[in-house]
Amino acid sequence: MATFSRLSLICISTIFVSSFSHAQAGSAAAIAARSQIMSAFEASVATHAEPNFSILKTLDFKSQSYQETVQRLGVRFTYPQGFEIDEQRDLLYVLRYSNGRPARAVIEKYRWSSGELLSTYIIPEPQASVSEGIVVTQEEGGDVAFLRSDSALTRYRLVDDQSGFGTTQKLEAVASNVAQSFYHKGGEWYVEKFKTPEDALGQSRGQYSVLDSSFKHVRDVNFAPQYSGYRNSEQLNLPKHQGFAVTDDGYAMTMGGYWASRMKATPYHYFGVNLFDRHGKIVKSEYIAPEALVSQLLAMGIQADTVENEGIQALSNGKLVTLQVVRTKGERSGKLLFLTLSP
């Protein structure tokens, strides 16, 4: 698989320089920042140490409720943006959004061990912002989902119905200035900041606040933009931040924007796993070209014409699980692949 990475690395520098020069011409600081980020990315690719993974679970892209869901919402499709595995209760929650802005949001609840769809919750309020994380907690009166809504971490009660189509009740916002990514572990909340100072390339996605169980600020943790990406990563052809998790000894981020077989791969499309220590310092950075990823999946019996990463979670046994969404050319079918990442 290293051949794909080497060939792609030769091409991506040319593609990146061309796109960047057009968008950021004349800025010495931006050119220097770009050079630093590309050096870090190319160093990761040049090692040929690609993310090592195995398939833990496979679900159909279209659940049993998918067609009725899009009909009820009056949209063309919904697409996964985040997930949470509740190991104690053997549950999986998948957060999906529709096309269009504002978007419509849906939470699918599965039995994790069997993959059986248990319920589909349609959020009645149109969503102006997208959440790449979801946390579901047990509270008095029922389960509550935490989502990003209007740049705030917001509580939604999950309301079941015998039909299998439930709804949600919006409760209240518990934290402001929240971007797409957040995580809950050990009684603390780790939330990506939405409004942050810009550097020469724009707003990086590496600035997080740590909140206690009462959502009071405890401390900040920051990650270098070389490994955390930017809000405008697609325009800059830089690796795209897709998932964030807190591990027992640090943090993990996954990267990897939407790629289709008709596209030329750039750093934006590479699937990557970046591991950090407890202070936010990079420990390991691994990337794989989308062509190589598709080739590996094919060897595992999965055909994919499009790929995109959609999050990461640390399990109680210390293993990392990431969601890779794959689609088949010419169809709106596909798979949700939950991959176990190996050291």
Tell me, yes or no, if the pTM score tops 0.95.
no
Enclosing domain of residue 157: 2-342
Bridge partners (DSSP) of residue 254 are: 243, 273
pLDDT digits (tens, 9 = 90+) for 99-145: 888 999 999 999 999 999 999 999 999 999 899 999 999 999 899 99
Helices 290-299 and 2-24 meet at what angle, rounded to 10?
150
H/E/C letters for each residue in 302-322?
CCCCEEEEEEEEECCCCCEEE
Number of folded domains in the chain?
1
Q: In sequence order, what are the residues at sequence separation of 6 or more whose Cβ sits closer than 8 angstroms to the Cβ of residue 301? A: none
Say if residues 241 and 228 touch (Cβ distance below 8 Å).
Answer: yes
Apex 12 CA angle, 7 and 14, nearest 5: 115
Q: Domain containing 307 — which CATH number?
A: 2.120.10
Residue 176 binned pLDDT confidence (cut-offs 50, 70, 90): very high
- Give the mean model confidence (pLDDT) for residues 52-57: 96
- Helices 2-24 and 28-46, packing angle to 10 deg: 180
- DSSP letter at 204? B
Contact 279, 291 (CB under 8 A): no
| Model pLDDT for residues 316-327, shown as the tens digit of each residue | 999 999 999 999
CA dihedral 105, 338, 305, 334 (to 10 degrees): -60
